[in-house]
């Protein structure tokens, strides 16, 4: 494992917090995307609205919409391919 994966001791407190958040996203966003896509693939593409209004919120259609919205939201994160310490302005330390 290269030092850029873990040598945060050279950072200021603010830089440390930013790197910590970045690394959490770099590790977890790809995993979350995979899980959301797997669940989404288990829902038929042509799922329909339930006939009874009381059943709508627990329906596959609502869950499908939620999953699609979550994947769209995650699209603004990443890809985070390089460790934080390999990014500027941290590379000059």
Average pLDDT across each block of 10 residues of the chain; the chain has 93 residues. List them in order: 75 88 90 96 88 78 93 86 79 48
Structural domains in the chain (count): 1
pLDDT at 92: 47
> Residue 2: left if φ>0, alpha if ψ -120 to 50, beta else—which one?
beta
Q: How many angstroms separate the first and last alpha carbons of the chain?
A: 18
Domain that holds residue 69: 3-92
pTM here is 0.70
pLDDT at 30: 92
pLDDT at 90: 58
pLDDT at 1: 65
């Amino acid at each position: 494992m290269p030092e850029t994966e873990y040598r945060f001791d050279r950072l200021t407190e603010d830089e440390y917090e930013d790197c910590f958040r970045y690394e959490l996203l770099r590790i977890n966003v790809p995993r979350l995307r995979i899980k959301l896509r797997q669940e989404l693939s288990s829902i038929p593409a042509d799922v329909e609205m339930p006939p009874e209004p009381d059943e709508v919120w627990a329906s596959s259609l609502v869950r499908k919409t939620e999953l699609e919205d979550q994947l769209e939201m995650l699209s603004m994160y990443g890809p985070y391919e390089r460790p934080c310490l390999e990014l500027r302005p941290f590379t000059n330390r």
